[in-house]
A and B are shown apart, each in its own frame.
Chain A
Amino acid sequence: EAQVTQNPRYLITVTGKKLTVTCSQNMNHEYMSWYRQDPGLGLRQIYYSMNVEVTDKGDVPEGYKVSRKEKRNFPLILESPSPNQTSLYFCASSLGGRRGETQYFGPGTRLLVL
């Protein structure tokens, strides 16, 4: 089944404790992206990747890192989480990253930083 998977789905952590949220897609997509969703603000892009070893900042990259060493994986790293990073995170992918392509979203990761 074609899908985007994220792990973990739920995570409670404390301020300053490094964490990684994994994202994997099995559709051989070149484009992958991370979003966070907050009440009243909607979805906002954190980072995106057009292909292996090609990443770029989105609209809200502060406090986050990403890497794209393999085509299928695009982990999101919070090196020193803070309470303002409490949010619902979505990973998404699309075929080539061209304008207008349908993006396929993962199930979301709900993060609480205490």
Chain B
Amino acid sequence: KNEVEQSPQNLTAQEGEFITINCSYSVGISALHWLQQHPGGGIVSLFMLSSGKKKHGRLIATINIQEKHSSLHITASHPRDSAVYICAAIPNYGGATNKLIFGTGTLLAVQP
């Protein structure tokens, strides 16, 4: 069983829909990143959060460290949001290094 699990694995939405991607983890963490990977392209960091909620444009990320769960929401989805979304947890083990444990990703396709 992966230490970081994402759901769903695949998601198809119509333009304008509200989208939620979930991430749960089984290890103690100090914070969590949400990353975006476009087809054929690299990976960029969207958020890092350790508590509560962060918002950037139409993207909202929430986390509850105690419940071991984070969500990424996209409001008013658009075809350009189509990408793989990856959560990456920062474990409490691993010393002071920048170790990450990655989820397997959610492939989002937003249709016009």
Contact = CB atoms under 8 A, between A and B. Distances in A.
A97 B98 CA distance: 5
Contact of B104 (A4, A40, A94, A101): A40
Contacts of B88: 43
B48 A99 contact: no
A48 to B, nearest CB: 7
A43 B4 CA distance: 11
B42 A90 contact: yes
B65 to A, nearest CB: 13
A48 B88 CA distance: 17
Please classify how large the interface on chain A is, using the bins under 10, 10 to 19, 20 to 34, 35 or more. 20 to 34
A75 interface: no
B86 interface: yes
Given A42-B2, A107-B42, A99 B102 contact: no
Interface of B: 2, 4, 30-31, 33, 41-45, 48, 50, 86, 88, 90, 94, 96-100, 102-105
Interface of A: 4, 31, 33, 40-45, 48, 50, 90, 92, 94, 97-103, 105-108
